[in-house]
Structure 1
């Protein structure tokens, strides 16, 4: 089919913009065979996440991903804890943790990173909503010589993992106003902020104060582009060097494009449906089990995600090796079983094919958002699957904030989103928040389980290996039986990388893009 004039024009504009951008942002030198090799310039990173805030708890991890700011504790490519601003840490006793500060660290304003500055930043994080540090049993954050000392009200073995969360990033005192609000992001990482243009653009440059190996690529721009199709065109045309957040169809097409490489990593992230447990229909576990059985996860993963291995048979993906339970009875597609469960719950087929109980039709609304391009297409497939078993599902595609808003005002029926269970490297911390008795914006709604809460609290306090394994198995089984959130698909993160760039490695925890390790290809 011939391209429409509009599409041809759009492609031409993108291609022309790419030429201009590459001419302006790169320098070249002649190689021995006479071709031009890129030797410098500005690295262009494109992704779907917009710049809505400078605050660590609400900045969507952009400033840690760009390596502008650091946390006390970092993680490696295997997701294990490693040194960040702290070179080491240990528990003096059950309720006292000590963190040794890296002595050579310097903020981008030239001031040294002192224990007092770290404590001030952590105290601000502790006082702000949206940080897992707020939920930790912290009694006092203080200084002892050059060390940071955290005293707890009760044992909390997960504290080092919490201090790897991006909301605890340490900024210079000059970053804050007198009320503790961030007015400028002044970190201590390899890159310093040159400019921030909300909501689309961040510019960074290599910091002269960085005490580690200097980045080979000194200048980076991050551009937020909401449409997946636009990001794909930018990757294909060379306008973007590193492109994130690709939709499955574009990603498959780009695999055959010369000049780009696809890098992928399986994340500890699950696409799931949050279900309102206080809804007259959805509060019944039989109904939630029916909703799960109605889903053809294998078909959706194969046809829509182009990745059959991502069909979620349980909440925790194989990438969470300690949490994924191989012996758990898998969630499977069985439309007849879904109909049987719905009938057992009292639902009967109405005159138009939609189920009815006590005169009420089974009508619900699913809210989702386009930031992750696979969510709207999965929502359409879920709509068809539910219709097949007699459920009238409307789909509302809006801003991601509509899901927590619906949780808060009680109007949410079902929300479809992707949840990363290793935002804190210890998943128990995220689970404690998501499935707390009072519920959570991105977790349970109108549902709680005392046994699950007890198991998660015991893990946070500290268990031996065997006890922790038993607790994880118990949590997985409860989630599989009760389905307060219904798993749909696991998640594979991919980046389209231009051949000009070498050394790309994807972080399985999505804390950093590790741009300081990239080089220009020769």
Structure 2
């Protein structure tokens, strides 16, 4: 199958280039000369850059707002505004604050400001998703210490506090109903201006507690059109570009394109409670029918990774643990594929991710070659989600983030495959799966939690409740001479103190 991505016609290309140049007027090489970095962001703010929304990730990617804790590549908590912490009992954690931090308005950081920020998040409506279902209270026994308590034992408290939605801001940010992060962060760059949904301006904060930023500032522009973002990189109007569309890569210098594995898996969920896929042998037949290499080649033009499980290369520890004897034993218990002939199934997916309808076309071909008769139902996500969650489809293709804000995949697996999971499209309810998820959830982050997480994956795959298809990559553009830009699978970091646009 030839991907449905025709090259731009000359006139359309010229229009896009004009628009891109307008977005970055005065940017690119001119900005590099004065040490500023121009960035083309994929999405405009949806909530005025409030840290209590998904806009928080923009603040994090610009290194303007910071959290108590940050995560390393393995999802292990590391110091940020807190220098150390300890678990004093099952429900209580004590954090020691960094002593030389000032907010961008000059206010010193103390426990009072930390408590105010975290309490605002905990009492927000809606609550930031990292705190969904978590009852959290915060106290300040002295100016340098913060005590966090949860209603039930929670080994992930430090990881939760790494979420950009729990950024610590100066008191000035909370003086109106909407949280305003302008001039209120602690990072190496100060947010000085927001131009609605057009862009934002950040300047280097010279009193930063850590390493002084190499760049003198960041000029961010919001460019939802992927063709325009690619054009901005190609013409030199942007130094860094978020999420270059796969279909635009061929028109770019390969040296400017960086592929980063994402913790996001395209998965075929199979309805385990009703319809043909209630039978595990029929689920096994669907699993055997799928050619992952073809999906990666024909739909993603080779810019994705074939899936061996639910968790992909963005979690580097996952692959090695699949050789664990207990893991392989669980997979060996899979049902043998049935021979199907004329079995009718409904296959759903959505249009919001451009590749998924193409994936559905190829899967229909492969499943019908195996003996299924497939009826597709493809809609916008907002119009199909409720039916998918209600089990209206025999099979559903979903692009799913496998690591939520805590940096840990157990919450995703519990949501998608636990009996009480809120996103259980497979309608799976299995005692062994629930027990495996519970065991993993009780262990503090580290090697043992990772091992138990993979055993839970094996339980799910052993039932063929889900067929992982591929792991997505994000394609990031970086102009020639740019250095020190973060290539973060979790898309929390982008420009930091070490980033430079070059000469």
When normalised by structure 1's length, the TM-score is 0.80
Q: 1:27 to 1:240 in 2, by over 3 A?
A: closer
Tell me if the contact between 1:136 and 1:159 (Cα under 8 Å) persists in the aligned partners: no
Q: 1:512 to 1:466 in 2, by over 3 A?
A: closer
Residue aligning to 1:262: 257
**Distance (Å, rounded) in 2 between the aligned partners of 1:401 and 1:171:** 33
Match of 1:426 among 404, 408, 421: 408
> Following TM superposition, by how much is the alpha carbon of 1:176 offset from its aligned partner in structure 2, in angstroms?
3.1
Per-residue deviation, residues 237-292 of structure 1 (Å, max 9, x unmatched): 22222122223343244244xxx522233233322234555554455544443333
2:85 maps to 1:85: no
| 1:134-173 equivalent positions in 2, closer than 5 A | 134-136=132-134, 138=136, 140-145=137-142, 146-173=144-171
**Distance (Å, rounded) in 1 between the aligned partners of 2:138 and 2:111:** 10
Q: 1:85 to 1:466 in 2, by over 3 A?
A: closer
Residue aligning to 2:67: 71
**Distance (Å, rounded) in 2 between the aligned partners of 1:277 and 1:109:** 56
Query: Per the alignment, in what secondary structure is the counterpart of residue 494 of structure 1?
Result: strand
Q: 1:245 to 1:114 in 2, by over 3 A?
A: same
Per-residue deviation, residues 458-483 of structure 1 (Å, max 9, x unmatched): 33332697754552342021121234
Residue aligning to 1:131: 129
Residue aligning to 1:25: 27
Tell me if the contact between 1:248 and 1:374 (Cα under 8 Å) persists in the aligned partners: no
| 1:247-396 equivalent positions in 2, closer than 5 A | 247-256=245-254, 260-275=255-270, 277=272, 280-307=275-302, 310-324=305-319, 325-327=321-323, 340=338, 343=340, 348-349=341-342, 355-356=343-344, 362-370=345-353, 373-388=354-369, 389-396=371-378
Match of 1:8 among 3, 10, 34: 10
Per-residue deviation, residues 48-71 of structure 1 (Å, max 9, x unmatched): 334212343532522212222111
Per-residue deviation, residues 356-412 of structure 1 (Å, max 9, x unmatched): 4xxxxx333322413xx54443333233333434332425253x5456444566656
Tell me if the contact between 1:368 and 1:417 (Cα under 8 Å) persists in the aligned partners: no
| 1:431-450 equivalent positions in 2, closer than 5 A | 431-441=413-423, 444=425, 446-450=427-431
Tell me if the contact between 2:74 and 2:316 (Cα under 8 Å) persists in the aligned partners: no
Tell me if the contact between 1:42 and 1:218 (Cα under 8 Å) persists in the aligned partners: yes
**189-198 or 95-104, larger mean C-alpha shift:** 189-198
Tell me if the contact between 1:439 and 1:445 (Cα under 8 Å) persists in the aligned partners: no
Residue aligning to 2:106: 110
Per-residue deviation, residues 86-143 of structure 1 (Å, max 9, x unmatched): 11111123332111112222223332322122122222323443422333464x3211
**Distance (Å, rounded) in 2 between the aligned partners of 1:79 and 1:465:** 9
Tell me if the contact between 1:56 and 1:167 (Cα under 8 Å) persists in the aligned partners: yes
Query: Per the alignment, in what secondary structure is the counterpart of residue 210 of structure 2?
Result: coil
**Distance (Å, rounded) in 1 between the aligned partners of 2:373 and 2:478:** 42
Residue aligning to 1:188: 186
**Distance (Å, rounded) in 2 between the aligned partners of 1:439 and 1:132:** 16
Q: 1:106 to 1:5 in 2, by over 3 A?
A: closer
Runs (5+) with no aligned partner, structure 1:
29-36, 350-354, 357-361
2:57 maps to 1:51: no
CA RMSD in angstroms comes to: 3.6
> Following TM superposition, by how much is the alpha carbon of 1:506 offset from its aligned partner in structure 2, in angstroms?
0.6
Residue aligning to 1:486: 467
Q: 1:161 to 1:465 in 2, by over 3 A?
A: closer
Tell me if the contact between 1:125 and 1:131 (Cα under 8 Å) persists in the aligned partners: no
- Kindly tell me the number of residue pairs found equivalent between the two proteins: 482
2:40 maps to 1:40: no
Q: 1:69 to 1:391 in 2, by over 3 A?
A: farther
**Distance (Å, rounded) in 1 between the aligned partners of 2:396 and 2:163:** 28
Per-residue deviation, residues 301-324 of structure 1 (Å, max 9, x unmatched): 133323387111211224424333
Residue aligning to 1:95: 91
Runs (5+) with no aligned partner, structure 2:
1-5
Q: 1:315 to 1:199 in 2, by over 3 A?
A: same
**Distance (Å, rounded) in 1 between the aligned partners of 2:288 and 2:389:** 28
Q: 1:376 to 1:213 in 2, by over 3 A?
A: farther
Tell me if the contact between 2:66 and 2:186 (Cα under 8 Å) persists in the aligned partners: yes
**Distance (Å, rounded) in 1 between the aligned partners of 2:269 and 2:53:** 21
2:406 maps to 1:416: no
> Following TM superposition, by how much is the alpha carbon of 1:42 offset from its aligned partner in structure 2, in angstroms?
4.3
> Following TM superposition, by how much is the alpha carbon of 1:426 offset from its aligned partner in structure 2, in angstroms?
2.7
**Distance (Å, rounded) in 2 between the aligned partners of 1:420 and 1:316:** 7
Tell me if the contact between 2:360 and 2:397 (Cα under 8 Å) persists in the aligned partners: no
> Following TM superposition, by how much is the alpha carbon of 1:517 offset from its aligned partner in structure 2, in angstroms?
1.9
**Distance (Å, rounded) in 1 between the aligned partners of 2:448 and 2:32:** 54
Q: 1:403 to 1:481 in 2, by over 3 A?
A: farther
